[in-house]
């Protein structure tokens, strides 16, 4: 792999070629961090985009994205940025125009039909109007949404919230209700001088040692000492087996063990009768002989 990122054509000569091709629509340009940005007039946008697509040496055939930026302190608070790609030259370009809430921007759907949805996104998020877009409706928010979420003056919580209502069996819109009980947040760190006690801190309000700096009073310290004394647990003495008597072993234990041990059973002598009775082969037969048949 020769490069960790896609290699694009150099920016050399791009600004000069664009200035010559765009004429009065070209306002200024900048080349920063390897990216070229052209600032154009709003009224000459469509002709300038056509020139950027068709002029040899520029040839930006594809419109990749349209983005918006909000600067509320400016008279024309919105930037509309068009990101173009030249497939033949392997180069990217940013074109920027400015506008406000009332002045519409000419639509470039006649050049790139894909701009229809992209312009709808900018309209939905920022409220920028596009003249010539035949279907300028909201595309990301709901039809009844009020305001434009990406504007800097739009509240983060919004104006309405929606939920599914079991009573009406449909989605219900209601004013935003923040359910937190306490919404006055204090960002001061309790370790840097906060004068309040957090829940649970009263359990550990004890100094490290007698005379150590402590935020507790003498009465609180006395109560803590009494609580520790009342809950004191007797320490169990550690059991060791350093001697034989500690384990219970020794002569008395050996004598007791000898009494409990059974003596081995003596073998019983076997006589002939016992052996004959036990062996079925040596027992005498008690079966009567069969009588012979007579000839008559």
Q: Is residue 281 situated within a structural domain?
A: no
Boundary (domain end) residue, out of 131, 160, 181: 131
Does 111 share its domain with 207? Answer: no
pLDDT confidence of residue 175: 87
Q: Is residue 208 situated within a structural domain?
A: yes
pLDDT confidence of residue 142: 83
Q: Is residue 181 situated within a structural domain?
A: no
Give the predicted TM-score (pTM) of the model. Answer: 0.58
pLDDT confidence of residue 222: 77
Boundary (domain end) residue, out of 131, 150, 178: 131
Does 121 share its domain with 207? Answer: no
Q: Is residue 70 situated within a structural domain?
A: yes
Q: Rounded to whole angstroms, how far apart are CA atoms 167 and 197?
A: 45
Q: Is residue 186 situated within a structural domain?
A: no
- Tracing tokens 């500690």 back to the chain, one arrives at 246
Under DSSP, the state recorded for 290 is P
148-151 own/partner pairs: CB under 8 Å, 24+ apart: 148/124, 149/125, 150/68, 150/70, 150/125, 150/126, 151/70, 151/72, 151/125, 151/126, 151/127
Angle formed by the axes of helices 14-22 and 45-54, nearest 10°: 130
Q: Is residue 192 situated within a structural domain?
A: no
pLDDT confidence of residue 162: 83
Provide the CATH number for the domain around residue 76.
3.30.460.80
pLDDT confidence of residue 87: 93
pLDDT confidence of residue 209: 58
How many domains is the chain built from?
2
Does 39 share its domain with 116? Answer: yes
Distances (CA, A) of 187 to 179, 182, 195, 268: 20, 14, 13, 97
Strand pairing class (78-86; 91-99): antiparallel
Residue 215 domain boundaries? 197-228
Q: Is residue 251 situated within a structural domain?
A: no
Boundary (domain end) residue, out of 109, 131, 153: 131
Q: Is residue 294 situated within a structural domain?
A: no
- Tracing tokens 């600004």 back to the chain, one arrives at 15
- The H or E element that residue 66 is part of is strand 62-70
pLDDT mean for each 10 residues of the chain (296 residues)? 74 94 94 94 96 94 96 96 95 96 96 96 96 94 87 88 89 80 60 63 58 64 74 60 66 69 66 54 63 60
Q: Rounded to whole angstroms, how far apart are CA atoms 128 and 134?
A: 15
pLDDT confidence of residue 255: 72
Q: Give one word for 217, left, alpha or beta, with left for phi > 0 and alpha for psi -120 to 50.
A: beta
Contact 136, 129 (CB under 8 A): yes
Query: Which alpha helices (H) appear in the chain, and where do they start and end?
Result: 14-22, 45-54, 115-126, 218-230, 244-247, 251-260, 272-278
Q: Rounded to whole angstroms, how far apart are CA atoms 38 and 48?
A: 11
pLDDT confidence of residue 95: 97
pLDDT confidence of residue 282: 58
């Amino acid at each position: 792999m020769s490069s960790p990122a896609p290699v694009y054509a150099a920016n050399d000569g791009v600004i000069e070629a664009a200035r010559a091709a765009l004429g009065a629509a070209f306002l200024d340009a900048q080349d920063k961090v390897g990216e070229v940005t052209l600032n154009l007039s709003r009224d000459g946008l469509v002709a300038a985009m056509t020139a950027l697509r068709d002029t040899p040496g520029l040839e930006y055939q594809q419109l990749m994205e349209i983005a918006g930026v909000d600067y509320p302190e400016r008279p024309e608070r919105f930037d509309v940025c068009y990101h173009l790609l030249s497939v033949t030259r392997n180069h990217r370009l940013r074109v920027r125009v400015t506008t406000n809430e009332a002045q519409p921007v000419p639509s470039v759907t006649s050049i790139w039909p894909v701009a229809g949805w992209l312009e709808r996104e900018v309209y939905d998020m920022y409220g920028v109007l596009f003249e010539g877009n035949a279907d300028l409706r909201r595309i990301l928010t709901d039809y009844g949404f009020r305001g434009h979420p990406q504007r800097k003056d739009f509240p983060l919580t919004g104006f309405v919230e929606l939920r599914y209502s079991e009573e009406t069996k449909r989605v219900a819109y209601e004013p935003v209700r923040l359910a937190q009980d306490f919404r006055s947040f204090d960002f001061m760190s309790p370790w840097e001088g906060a004068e309040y006690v957090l829940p649970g801190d009263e359990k550990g309000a004890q100094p490290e040692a007698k005379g150590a700096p402590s935020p507790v009073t003498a009465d609180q310290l006395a109560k803590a000492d009494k609580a520790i004394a009342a809950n004191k647990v007797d320490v169990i003495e550690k059991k060791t087996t350093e001697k034989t008597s500690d384990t219970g072993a020794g002569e008395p234990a050996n004598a007791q063990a000898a009494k409990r041990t059974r003596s081995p059973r003596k073998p019983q002598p076997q006589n002939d009768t016992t052996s004959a009775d036990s062996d079925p082969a040596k027992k005498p037969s008690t079966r009567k002989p069969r009588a012979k048949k007579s000839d008559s």
